């Protein structure tokens, strides 16, 4: 294992310290317990939003803390849920008198620990709601999940719910918007190879020279099949059709697309995937309203990509377009 | 070789097509010959700026076309200079009556082909100046270079010269600013592993399990030594001291820092490098005015990072801070 780190047990902490130094104008990093808040808190009376989960998916979540998105993020150890304590502290710091929404990816540890933190926050008279994101159409139930996994669609929930909170929607309203985004978003990914968790020291799985994993999870959890390497066009079509069919996407509808890199994929390849995706949507009579291409929800240095489609109407689109200023979304 | 591509000979073309589809609000992609221009051209009477070079370094250069940075970019084949013809067309498209600056990384093919294009443009009565970026302190002369190579510092030249053009400096003034940035910027990189050029099909070099290349070029050209893998702090110190000493950086001076990923490095590791860099600068009494951490000038999927320091004064800093709106800089 070759990584630009100092100590496998200090990766998250030292990375957070570097993140704090690089983005002191946008975020504050708190240690013991570890969580990240906006440097310029939002106004009193606005709903707060907290997300979090295991580290290793950067820029998710801390990269999306800032104006127009999250009030706070809680990074756990690599690929491991944060405990309730930092989630509680982040929730307290994000309450501006109007309650706090938790955006939680659907992994058993995250769901449990956010629930516990919410119960503790309610003892402080902070009203907390929760939306559990489960956009991955690849598999039902998985290594760390009952039901579907939450993957790259999470960033769209954070963006749009963040904009709703910023415009002054109340807690029920922000929660309803986040729920609607989760209902309208679907994703699926593939891996060309594994990643290596620092404290494990060896790759999380093995693939043959000509083998890929379709439906990969963002922690390297198995997908729905292993297959031979194919062209970008063939692979994009397979991902697209499963996402489209699950979403029930129909001619005349409108989408926001996200072609997401898993960490080790050149940007040029992601654009080739986007090219294929755009042609498929065009052939189906679906309009691409906005496109994201890049590393948003990664799996350390995993080579691979995921494809996310969000069905939008004018309201969701205007919230998507609303200004945001965070380390990773400007 | 596993890559999300369709045809090794169509990688650049298809990636450009995807780029055009994803960023139609910001850029126009022209084919035959291939170059990229701003979707909203700048006003008449302002200086144009063109850059370019081999592909495989995305988001450089096309990702920096837009308001406040480049008027046009010319992507060659992967790791291969574009020919004079597209450079000429890009120069014509970027002339708004005040002449055009070419920002060229110091590789023999790029220098020659930009020079030829400049001579052709002058026959059209377009005044052209050129700044050759050579910020890499690792080696003198290299596989494709006489003198020092141009690497990640290029993006800072593009940003600051772009801002000078946008505020209305004349061609001599924009050229002087770009020259000054090149004089004040130094970089050095390291690789933990190789990358694979699609049409080559095999890795560009080999490294042992515990071996790294210090002073790596952005095409995988040899650096100044191979060594054992060390901690991020130790490696950052070695890069930093060489960059600092070459730049002649002194206590009380001010810098913009760029910790640049080579394509296959997790963002979390880049922040650990930034943390080390910030401590070293602090110990030397140098003030970090602004920090960039991320993938700006990549080498396909190469794992590794480079470190860039730009000595700044108030003028360079205000140009660095000026608004820009491009696919990769917002």
> Closest to B291 (Cβ–Cβ): which among A4, A22, A193?
A22
Q: What is the mean pLDDT of chain B?
A: 97
Q: How far apart are the first and last CA of chain B?
A: 34
Measured distance CA(A17)–CA(A300) in Å, rounded: 18
DSSP secondary structure code for residue B60 in this structure: T
Pairing status of strand B72-78 against strand B35-38: antiparallel
Residue pairs between chains A and B whose CB atoms are closer than 8 Å: 176
- B265-315 per-position pLDDT tens digit: 999 999 999 999 999 999 999 999 999 999 999 999 999 999 999 999 999
> Closest to B21 (Cβ–Cβ): which among A21, A278, A301?
A278
Residue A62 three-state SS: helix
The answer to whether B219 is a known catalytic residue is yes
Smallest CA–CA distance from B14 into chain A, residue: A272
Residue A117 three-state SS: helix
Percent of all residues in chain B with a pLDDT value above 70, rounded to a whole number: 100
Interface of B with A in 114-153 (CB under 8 A): none
Whether B297 and chain A come into contact, CB under 8 Å, resolves to: no
Q: In what order do the strands lie in the sheet with B287-294?
A: B225-228, B211-214, B185-191, B304-311, B254-261, B287-294
Measured distance CA(A86)–CA(A74) in Å, rounded: 7
Q: B169 vs chain A: nearest CA distance in angstroms? A: 27
Contacts of A305 (CB under 8 A, 6+ apart): A189, A190, A259, A260, A261, A262, A265, A269, A270, A273, B4
pLDDT tens over chain B, length 330 residues:
999 999 999 999 999 999 999 999 999 999 999 999 999 999 999 999 999 999 999 999 999 999 999 999 999 999 999 999 999 999 999 999 999 999 999 999 999 999 999 999 999 999 999 999 999 999 998 888 899 999 999 999 999 999 999 999 999 999 999 999 999 999 999 999 999 999 999 999 999 999 999 999 999 999 999 999 999 999 999 999 999 999 999 999 999 999 999 999 999 999 999 999 999 999 999 999 999 999 999 999 999 999 999 999 999 999 999 999 999 998
Q: What angle do CA B40, B46, B51 make, to 5 degrees?
A: 70
**What φ, ψ does residue B176 adopt, rounded to 5°?**
-65, -40
pLDDT tens over chain A, length 330 residues:
999 999 999 999 999 999 999 999 999 999 999 999 999 999 999 999 999 999 999 999 999 999 999 999 999 999 999 999 999 999 999 999 999 999 999 999 999 999 999 999 999 999 999 999 999 999 998 888 899 999 999 999 999 999 999 999 999 999 999 999 999 999 999 999 999 999 999 999 999 999 999 999 999 999 999 999 999 999 999 999 999 999 999 999 999 999 999 999 999 999 999 999 999 999 999 999 999 999 999 999 999 999 999 999 999 999 999 999 999 998
Q: Please, is A59 exposed, middle or buried when counting C-beta atoms within 10 Å of its C-beta (0-12, 13-18, 19+)?
A: buried
Whether B18 and chain A come into contact, CB under 8 Å, resolves to: yes
Specify the residue for token string 């450089």.
B60
Which tokens hold the place of B203? 């890795």
C-alpha pair distances (Å), B262 with each of A156, A265, A266, B198: 27, 11, 9, 16
* CB-based contact A238:A209 (threshold 8 Å): no
Whether A31 and chain B come into contact, CB under 8 Å, resolves to: no
Whether B210 and chain A come into contact, CB under 8 Å, resolves to: yes
- B124-169 per-position pLDDT tens digit: 999 999 999 999 999 998 888 899 999 999 999 999 999 999 999 9
C-alpha pair distances (Å), B113 with each of A131, B74, B172: 56, 11, 22
């Amino acid at each position: 294992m070759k990584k630009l780190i100092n100590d496998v047990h200090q990766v998250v902490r030292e990375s957070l310290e570097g993140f704090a130094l690089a983005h002191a104008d946008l975020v504050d990093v708190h240690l013991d317990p570890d969580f990240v808040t906006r440097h310029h808190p939002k106004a009193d009376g606005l709903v707060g939003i907290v997300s979090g989960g295991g580290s290793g998916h950067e820029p998710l979540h801390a990269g999306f803390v800032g104006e127009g998105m999250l009030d706070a993020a809680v990074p756990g150890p690599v690929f491991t849920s944060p405990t309730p304590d930092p989630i509680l502290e982040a929730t307290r710091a994000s309450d501006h008198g109007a309650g706090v929404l938790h955006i939680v990816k659907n992994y058993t540890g995250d769901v449990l620990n956010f629930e516990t933190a919410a119960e503790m926050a309610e003892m402080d008279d902070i009203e907390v709601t929760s939306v559990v994101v489960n956009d991955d159409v690849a598999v039902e139930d998985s290594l760390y999940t009952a039901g579907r996994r939450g993957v790259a669609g999470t960033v769209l929930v954070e963006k749009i719910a963040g904009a709703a909170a910023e415009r002054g929607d109340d807690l029920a309203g922000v929660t309803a918007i986040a729920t609607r985004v989760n209902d309208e978003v679907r994703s699926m990914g593939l891996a060309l190879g594994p990643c290596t968790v620092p404290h494990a020291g060896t790759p999380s799985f093995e693939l043959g020279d000509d083998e890929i994993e379709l439906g990969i999870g963002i922690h390297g959890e198995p997908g729905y099949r292993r297959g031979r390497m194919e062209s970008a066009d063939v692979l994009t079509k397979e991902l697209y059709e499963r996402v489209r069919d699950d979403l029930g996407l129909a001619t005349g509808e409108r989408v926001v697309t996200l072609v997401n890199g898993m960490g080790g994929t050149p940007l040029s390849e992601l654009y080739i995937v986007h090219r294929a995706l755009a042609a498929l949507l065009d052939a189906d009579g679906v309009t691409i309203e906005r496109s994201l291409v890049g590393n948003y929800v990664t799996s350390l240095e995993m080579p691979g990509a995921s494809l996310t489609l969000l069905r939008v109407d004018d309201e969701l689109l205007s919230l998507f377009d609303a200004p945001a200023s965070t380390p990773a979304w400007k």
